[in-house]
């Protein structure tokens, strides 16, 4: 690990317990805070998350916004009853051709929120605690030079205390260490819980698929430098594990996102266009069935370029 990263770990890593609510309320002043929950078919968990934020973080969080990403269940209705403002993903900036993926929902949230600080939280968390929000806000409210904060945590899997985060360990971490060793200190580079200053988030592009997290980390490092980034230990995080096939598709999108950044930053000279088709196999009778899926990614430009459409 680079010496500068070791120094960064000591100076820019904290714990959620370091940022008690009363201290953040004192620091908040006139700063406004938005919490964004991207959601697709998350009726089982989203209501609890919203109620915890509304009940425990009154005075700190100014708005809770759910971006409903084409849910087939009543996620939107559950979120409204719990106290969130809900926006259908495809109805935001309707003049644009709709795109797919989590990153699309996160990017569009910038057009319908107003907070100077924006906190993103996955809506499938089973063990959500208010400290997941206060922890992420702590470094931003404490130090104006910090523009982006990633959560880190233990990842329980199927009853074991660890074992989650397989795509991180098998794909994202090796790629980061190979090509952006300054980011090697991030414990969970693909964490879905993170926060940033609107002034920074609106100036970077958003990859629309599962590559959004690694894309933001790489782009914000390039734009603001390592010392403007921080991470906070949020304890433990548990959600419904995805199948190996789904994780394979996620890994494909992350690798395409990394490819795009390597090319954009002049770290490689591409001699071909990478394929966005992923073939996977499953047992079928005495042989194997092949399923091929499209794992292509798209990219939205910095939201600041859409200034005429901002809320």
Compute φ and ψ for 219, nearest 5 degrees.
-70, -40
Residue 237 pLDDT: 81
Mean pLDDT calculated for residue range 264-292: 93
Residue 239 pLDDT: 59
Residue 162 pLDDT: 55
Mean pLDDT calculated for residue range 22-41: 97
Mean pLDDT of the chain: 94
**pLDDT confidence tier of residue 179, bands split at 50, 70 and 90:** very high
311: pLDDT strictly greater than 80? no
286: pLDDT strictly greater than 90? no
| 180-236 confidence digits (pLDDT tens) | 999 999 999 999 999 999 999 999 999 998 999 999 999 999 999 999 999 999 998
Mean pLDDT calculated for residue range 268-284: 93
Are 93 and 309 contacting, i.e. CB atoms less than 8 angstroms apart?
Answer: yes
| 118-163 confidence digits (pLDDT tens) | 999 999 998 899 999 999 999 999 999 999 999 999 876 655 555 5
Residue 213 pLDDT: 97
268: pLDDT strictly greater than 90? yes
SS (H, E, C) the chain: CCHHHHHHHHHHEEEHHHCCHHHHHHHHCCCCEEEEEEECCCHHHHHHHHHHHHHHCECCECEEEEEECCCCCCHHHHHHHHCCEEEEHHHCCCCCCCCCCHHHHHHHHHHHCCCCEEEECCCCCCCCCCHHHHHHHHHHHHCCCCCEEEEEEECEECCEEEECCHHHHHHHHHHHHHHCHHHCCCCCCCCCCEEEEHHHHCCCCEECCCCHHHHHHHHHHHHHCHHHEEEEEEEECCCCCCCHHHHHHHHHHHHHHHHHHHHHCCCCCCCCCCCCEEEEEEEECCEEEEEEEECCCCEECCHHHHHHHCC
Residue 301 pLDDT: 97
Interior CA angle at 75 toward 73 and 77, to 5°? 105
| 228-246 confidence digits (pLDDT tens) | 999 999 998 875 667 889 8
Give me the residue label for tokens 């074992």. Answer: 163
Share of the chain above pLDDT 90, in %: 88
| 54-104 confidence digits (pLDDT tens) | 999 999 999 999 999 999 999 999 999 999 999 999 999 999 999 999 999
307: pLDDT strictly greater than 80? no
Residue 310 pLDDT: 52
Residue 156 pLDDT: 67
Residue 166 pLDDT: 83
Residue 244 pLDDT: 86
């Amino acid at each position: 690990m680079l010496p500068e990263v070791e120094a960064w770990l000591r100076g820019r890593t904290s714990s959620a317990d370091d940022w008690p609510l009363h201290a953040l309320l004192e620091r908040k002043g006139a700063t406004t805070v938005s919490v964004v929950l991207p959601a697709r078919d998350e009726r089982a968990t989203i209501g609890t998350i919203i109620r915890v934020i509304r009940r425990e973080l009154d005075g700190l969080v100014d708005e809770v916004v759910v971006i409903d990403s084409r849910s087939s269940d009543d996620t939107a209705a559950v979120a409204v009853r719990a106290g969130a403002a809900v926006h259908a993903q495809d109805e935001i900036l309707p003049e644009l051709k709709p795109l797919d993926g989590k990153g699309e929902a996160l990017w569009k949230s910038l057009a319908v929120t107003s907070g100077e600080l924006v906190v993103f939280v996955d809506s499938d968390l089973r063990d959500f605690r208010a400290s997941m929000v206060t922890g992420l806000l702590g470094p931003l409210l404490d130090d104006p030079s910090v523009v982006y904060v990633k959560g880190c945590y233990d990842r329980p899997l199927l009853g074991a205390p660890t074992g989650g985060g397989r795509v991180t360990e098998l794909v994202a971490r090796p790629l980061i260490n190979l090509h952006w060793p300054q980011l090697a200190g991030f414990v969970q580079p693909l964490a879905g819980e993170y926060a940033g200053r609107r002034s920074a988030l609106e100036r970077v592009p958003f990859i629309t698929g599962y590559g959004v997290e690694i894309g933001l980390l790489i782009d914000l490092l390039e734009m603001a430098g390592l010392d403007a980034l921080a991470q906070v230990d949020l304890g433990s995080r548990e959600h419904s594990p995805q199948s190996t096939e789904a994780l394979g598709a996620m890994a494909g999108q992350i690798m395409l996102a990394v490819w795009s950044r390597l090319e954009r930053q002049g770290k490689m000279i591409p001699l071909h266009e990478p394929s966005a088709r992923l073939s996977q196999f499953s047992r079928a009778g005495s042989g194997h069935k092949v399923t091929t899926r499209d794992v292509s990614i798209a990219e939205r430009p910095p939201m600041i370029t859409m200034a005429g459409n901002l809320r």
